[in-house]
Chains A and B, each alone.
Chain A
Amino acid sequence: MTAESKKLDQLIEQARQGKQSPQPERDLWGGIEQALVRSSRRPLQGFGWLWASAACMVLVVAGLTFNGLQQTEQAGVSQTQLLLTMLNQQHQQQRQLVLTHYQQVGWDGRSEFVKHELEQIRASIDEVSEQLMQEPSNQQLWQLLQWLYQKELELLESQFKETNPLQQV
């Protein structure tokens, strides 16, 4: 092996280890972020699965709960609490995902009307959840909870659609 060959191997090894690699001379994230935000301004077709999954989750859990709790009434209360907590956590994650998305595209959530509506829906969710603790086998209450979750997400989206044209200006 020649001296040049050895030296080349050393230089290659240094490059492999990232020593003195070429580095960007300007910020790159800003341009990427703008491009991503622009692409996400398109209609939120992607959120259909969110609602569908939420609805399915509630229905499946409600069905299981209905059957299971009929057999084990004693354990039913704690199971219902657990299920409600799980459902609420899942919904909060979905809600946060929607909110994060809207904030990224410029939503600031300033509408007092929507804020009031959201508060009402949240209060209703709490009420229905409490009632479900008393009546865990009430199928209609589970469906109402599902409907409320969905309405909250729809309301968040509607606010974005209303304010979006102004943001464009």
Chain B
Amino acid sequence: MTVKPIRQKLLVDPDKELVHRASRGDMQAFQQLFERHYKWVYALVWRLAGASDSAHDLTQEVFIKVWGSLAQFRGESKFSTWLHTIATRVAMGELRKNKRWQHIRLTGEASYAQSMTYEPSADLSELDKLILRLPEQTRWAFVLHCIEGLRHEEVATEMGIAIGTSKAQVHRARQMLEEWLTDDG
């Protein structure tokens, strides 16, 4: 089962020893950390990115970034919480850069979202299929708040928006998703 860092209640960090070893250059320990966490990291960045191709690259980017930043990890929070923050920031940072690039490339088109031709896989859950249809900012707020469990204050910080905007985006996302559930039902 995927472990959601936000809701972990245990006080002891199960990754502590591996993190310690990895921070001293032990790549095998780092690989074990990767094996423990890559599935939920992938799911997170996939939902933020809204497409599987970028999610592969983004997940790799996240772990490369983590390796390079391990020395800065002080253990004040759990490793998984720290990893979650890095994953969110790397994913949204890259997506913003790509969006700017796409905007230049696709001048004249209504929006980047409309230009996407990604076909959702049949293996996806009903929710994930619908999430793909949400506008990007709305999707980010919904994913971070409703699925990942971040408070609106945290969502606002990560997205660089006002708290009220985060609440409005989540409200909008829920309305759209409920509407689509009615239509599809």
Which A positions have Cβ atoms within 8 angstroms of B? 2, 4-5, 7-8, 11-12, 14-26, 28-29, 31-33, 35-36, 39-40, 46, 97, 100-101, 104
Contacts and interface: CB of A to CB of B under 8 A. Distances in A.
Given A4-B182, A5-B174, A15-B147, 11 more contacts: A11-B126, A20-B125, A21-B2, A21-B125, A22-B124, A28-B34, A28-B59, A28-B60, A33-B31, A36-B27, A100-B26
Main secondary structure of the interface of B (DSSP, over half): helix
A18 B42 contact: no
Contacts of A11: 125-127
A18 B27 contact: no
A4 B42 contact: no
Interface stretch (B61-69, B75-83, B98-106): B61-69
A22 to B, nearest CB: 4
Contacts of A22: 42-43, 46-47, 52, 55, 121, 124, 128
B146 A21 contact: no
A16 B149 contact: yes
22 contacts: A4-B185, A7-B181, A8-B127, A14-B125, A15-B127, A15-B128, A16-B149, A18-B2, A18-B3, A18-B43, A21-B2, A21-B43, A22-B46, A24-B55, A25-B52, A25-B56, A28-B60, A29-B35, A29-B38, A33-B31, A39-B64, A100-B27
Interface residues of B, number: 46
A29 B31 contact: yes
A104 B67 CA distance: 14
B172 interface: no
B177 interface: yes
A102 to B, nearest CB: 10
Contacts of B112: none
Contact of A8 (B1, B59, B181): B181
